[in-house]
Amino acid sequence: MPNTFKVFIVEDDEWYKKMLEYHIKMNPDNLVEAYTTGKELLHNLYKRPDLITLDYTLGEEKADDLINKVKNFDPDIPIVIVSGQEDVSTAVDLLKKGAYDYIVKDEDTKDRIWNIIKHLKQNVNLKEELNQLRKEVAHKYDFSSTMVGDSEPMQKVFTLMEKALKTNITVSITGETGTGKEMVAKGIHYNSKRSKGPFVAVNMAAIPSELIESELFGHEKGAFTGANVQRIGKFEEANNGTVFLDEIGDLDLNLQSKLLRVLQEKEVTKVGGNKSFSIDVRVIVATHKDLTEEVQAGRFREDLFYRLLGLPIKLPALNKRGTDIVILSRFFIEEFEKENELESLTLAPDSVKKLLEYSFPGNVRELKAIMELAAVMSDGNIIEPDNIIFSPKKPMANLMLEEKSLRRYTFDIIQYYLEKYDENILKIAEVLEIGKSTIYRILKEMKEYEEGNYTG
Amino acid sequence: MKKGTTQDERLRVLIDLTKGDDDFIREMLGIFIKNTPEAIANLQLSLKSEDFSSVSAGAHKLKSSIQILGDSELHELIRKIENNSKSGIKSNELIEMIEKLNHELNSLISWMKKRLEDPKKFT
C-alpha cells in the first residue's frame, strides 16, 4: 500500500490513547498501532513507523530516554511528544534531544496531529520524488555514458532513442549480434515514463518452441504435462513496464498469430485457461534478421511485421562506426581499470591502427572482450599491438561485412589459414590450391602493408 | 458541573471532535466509567498518604480526559488540584477540592450510565 502512513501511539492512558487513535484513523491511509509502554514500542520498532506519538509522562519510563533509544535505532523516525501540560522549557529540552514536535493534550490535539502528519507525508513524498529523480538522472547518465559513440550512425540512434522515450510506440531494433540491441531497449525503458515498472527480456531463440507460448503468456495448473502450478507469463510480468522480445525473427508462425492477437487486443490468455485479462505493456522487439526478407520468404507474418515495426532503430555494425572503435576501446579499458583497480592504461598508436583495421564480426561485444584481454595481457601502462588478440575464426565467417580491396581480402584469407593451420605453409598451399611461393609473396606484401611500406 | 447545561452538552467537545460518532462516543464513555472510579480512589489514597507527586500525576491524567469531554468547570477544578498538590502541603483547600471532584465525577458517571441506556444518538 504505497500511500499508507504508519503511526505508533505510546500512551498509558486508555482513554486518551483511544481518542488519539480515533483522530489519526479518521484518514484511512493512516495505519495505527497503539502501545501502553515504551518497552512495547522498542520491541516493535523493526516495523519502522513513519511517526511515533509519545506520552510525556509514561509511568516510570522517561520520554528523553525513549527518544534516545529510538534515535539510536533510526534517527529518521519522527517522534512527537504529547503532554498534558504546556511547559515551554520541557518542550524546548525535548526538541533539542531530537523530538520532532511537542503538542499539548487539549481539544486542538486533533488538528495539531493532523498537520504534523500532513507535513511528514509531504516530506515523505518529497523524499520519494527526490529518490525517483536521482534514479532517473542515474539512468539518464547510464544511457549517455554506457552507449558511447560520436559517429553519425550512432548519433542517429541516440536521436531515435530520445524520440522513443516520449511515447509508448513499439520500437523495433535491428542490428548484428553484439551491436547492443538489449542495451538500447533498456536505455529506452529506464528513461521512459515506465521506468518504475519492470523491464522483462525474453530471447525467442533461446526458448524451445513448445515452451515459448507458456513462457510469454503463462499457463494454468494442469494445462499440460508438467504444469503442476499456475505460472505467469512474461507479458503479465511486464505489466506497466516493458517487454523486450529479442530475436523476434525466430518466433514460429503459429506463435506469431497468437502474439499478434495479444498486441491487437492488449489481452492475454494463459495456456490452458479460458479467461483473458488486460495488460499494459510496452513492446520492444529486436532481431539480427532482415524481417522484410523474412516476410517475403513467408517465414514472418506481414501483419505482425507492421504491428511490430513501430519506430525502427537500426544499430550500425561496429566496423561502420569509424573512430567510435577507438572511443569504445578507451571506454572499455577505463571500465576494466575501475572494476579491477588497475593503473591507467593507454593504447599505443600501432594498437589503434590494428584495431581500426579489424572488421569486428562480433561487434561491440567482441571489442569489449578484446580490450579486457588486452588490459590483462599488457605488461606496462601501454597496450601494445601484441596485447590485442583477435579471435582467429570469426573474420572468415564475416568476411563480407565491410568493403575492402581484393588485396586486403587476400591478406585476410591468408591470415585466417595461417592461424588455422599453425603457419603450415605447405598445408595452406594445398587447401588454397596455390603455390607456396605465392603464399610467401603475399606474406611479404602483408609485412610491407603492416609496416606502411606497401605500394600495391 | 456547570449549572443549566443540557444533558449532552456535558460531552460537547467529545461529540464535536467525533462529529457525533455514536458508537465511538459510547465506547469512550464505557472506558471513562470503567477507569475513573479507580483514578479517584488512587487520588484519595495518595492524598491520605500525603504522596503529593502522585496526587499531581493522578490529577494530570484525569485532566486530559475531562478536557476532551468538554466540561470546563470540572477541568478547571482538576487543574487547580494538580497545581495545588505540587506545593506539597495537605491544605484544607486541596482536601475540599478532591472531595468536590469525587462528588462531581461520581455524579457524571451516574449520568453517563443512564445516558448509555438511552438509545438516542449523541448530538
The nearest alpha carbon in chain A to B68 belongs to A107
The nearest alpha carbon in chain B to A110 belongs to B17
> Residue B6: what pLDDT?
56
The last residue of a domain, from among A266, A298, A314: A314
CB contact under 8 A, B67 and A19: no
Are A325 and A385 contained in the same domain?
yes
Query: Is residue A293 included in any domain, yes or no?
Result: yes
Q: Provide, as residue numbers in chain B, all residues whose Cβ is less than 8 Å from the Cβ of A21.
A: none
CATH number at residue A370: 1.10.8.60
Mean pLDDT on A429-439: 86
Q: What is the rounded distance in angstroms from the CA atom of residue A423 to the CA atom of residue A440?
A: 11
Quick check: A392 pLDDT over 70? no
pLDDT band at B36 (very low <50, low <70, confident <90, very high): very high
Quick check: A27 pLDDT over 70? yes
Report the residue of B68, B75, B82, B109 to disrupt the A interface, i.e. the one with the largest count of A CBs within 10 Å.
B68
Q: Quick one: DSSP state of residue A47?
A: G
**How far is residue A24 CA from its own chain's centroid?**
40
CB contact under 8 A, B35 and A14: yes
Q: How many domains does chain A have?
A: 4
Are A382 and A430 contained in the same domain?
no
Q: Please, what sign has the CA dihedral across residues A408, A413, A419, A421? A: negative
Residues 78-117 of A with CB under 8 A from B: 84-85, 105-107, 110
Query: Is residue A330 included in any domain, yes or no?
Result: yes
CB contact under 8 A, A84 and B57: no
Q: How far is A92 from chain B (nearest CA, A)?
A: 20
The nearest alpha carbon in chain B to A85 belongs to B60
Q: How far is A38 from chain B (nearest CA, A)?
A: 17
Are A52 and A172 contained in the same domain?
no
Quick check: A421 pLDDT over 90? no
The last residue of a domain, from among A281, A314, A347: A314
At CA A125, angle to CA A191 and CA A108, rounded to 5? Answer: 170
Are A162 and A307 contained in the same domain?
yes
Mean pLDDT on A13-27: 90
CATH number at residue A297: 3.40.50.300
Residues A373-386: tens digit of each pLDDT = 999 999 888 999 99
Query: Is residue A134 included in any domain, yes or no?
Result: no
CB contact under 8 A, A105 and B67: yes
The nearest alpha carbon in chain A to B75 belongs to A106
Quick check: A234 pLDDT over 90? yes
CB contact under 8 A, A107 and B28: no
Of residues B17, B18, B31, nearest to A15 (C-beta)? B31
Query: Is residue A129 included in any domain, yes or no?
Result: no
> Residue A435: what pLDDT?
85
Tell me the CATH number of domain B7-116, given options 2.60.450.10, 3.40.50.2300, 2.60.120.680, 1.20.120.160: 1.20.120.160
Residues A129-186: tens digit of each pLDDT = 776 665 654 554 466 666 788 888 888 998 899 899 889 999 999 998 888 898 899 8
Which of the residue ranges A263-277, B7-21, B72-86 would you say has the lowest mean pLDDT? B7-21
At CA A238, angle to CA A234 and CA A241, rounded to 5? Answer: 155
Query: Are A58 and A10 spatial neighbours (Cβ–Cβ below 8 Å)?
Result: yes
Are A177 and A275 contained in the same domain?
yes
Q: How far is A70 from chain B (nearest CA, A)?
A: 25
Burial A361-372 (b: 16+ CB within 10 A, else e): bbbbebbbebbb
State the SS3 of A341-405: CCCCCEECHHHHHHHHHCCCCCHHHHHHHHHHHHHHHCCCCEECHHHCCCCCCHHHHCHHHCCCC
Q: Provide, as residue numbers in chain B, all residues whose Cβ is less than 8 Å from the Cβ of A53.
A: none
Are A175 and A305 contained in the same domain?
yes
CATH number at residue A436: 1.10.10
* Cell numbers representing residue A106 in the block: 487539549
Q: What is the dihedral of CA A57, A58, A63, A67, to 10 degrees?
A: -150
Are A53 and A82 contained in the same domain?
yes
CB contact under 8 A, A107 and B35: no
Are A191 and A227 contained in the same domain?
yes
CB contact under 8 A, A105 and B13: no
Q: Provide, as residue numbers in chain A, all residues whose Cβ is less than 8 Å from the Cβ of B13.
A: 107
Residue A80 — φ and ψ, nearest 5°? -110, 125
Query: Are A216 and A283 spatial neighbours (Cβ–Cβ below 8 Å)?
Result: no
Task: For residue A285, give the H/E element and its range.
Answer: strand A282-287
**How far is residue A99 CA from its own chain's centroid?**
41
CB contact under 8 A, B64 and A13: yes
Quick check: A1 pLDDT over 80? no
> Residue A187: what pLDDT?
87
Q: What is the rounded distance in angstroms from the CA atom of residue A331 to the CA atom of residue A182?
A: 19
pLDDT band at A50 (very low <50, low <70, confident <90, very high): very high
CB contact under 8 A, A84 and B64: yes
Query: Is residue A249 included in any domain, yes or no?
Result: yes
Are A178 and A271 contained in the same domain?
yes
Query: Is residue A218 included in any domain, yes or no?
Result: yes
Query: Is residue A176 included in any domain, yes or no?
Result: yes
What is the span of the domain harbouring residue A413? 404-456
> Residue B81: what pLDDT?
92
The last residue of a domain, from among A286, A314, A342: A314
Are A19 and A166 contained in the same domain?
no
Q: Does A57 touch chain B (CB under 8 A)?
A: yes
Q: Provide, as residue numbers in chain B, all residues whose Cβ is less than 8 Å from the Cβ of A111.
A: none
The nearest alpha carbon in chain B to A26 belongs to B18
The residues, ordered by sequence, that sit 6+ positions from B19 with a Cβ below 8 Å of its Cβ are: none
Q: Does A17 touch chain B (CB under 8 A)?
A: no
CB contact under 8 A, A16 and B68: yes
How far is CA A444 from each of CA A70, A88, A114, A389, A447, rounded to the nearest angstrom?
Answer: 80, 96, 88, 21, 5
Are A165 and A270 contained in the same domain?
yes
**A316's torsion region: left (phi>0), alpha (psi -120 to 50) or beta?**
beta
> Residue B116: what pLDDT?
92
Predicted ipTM of the assembly: 0.83
Q: How far is A109 from chain B (nearest CA, A)?
A: 10
Residue A144 — φ and ψ, nearest 5°? -85, -20
At CA A206, angle to CA A300 and CA A293, rounded to 5? Answer: 25
Of residues A15, A22, A57, nearest to B65 (C-beta)? A15
The nearest alpha carbon in chain B to A105 belongs to B64
Q: How far is A107 from chain B (nearest CA, A)?
A: 6
Are A249 and A174 contained in the same domain?
yes
State the angle between helix axes of B22-48 and B92-117 in degrees (0 to 180), rounded to the nearest 10. 150
The nearest alpha carbon in chain A to B25 belongs to A19
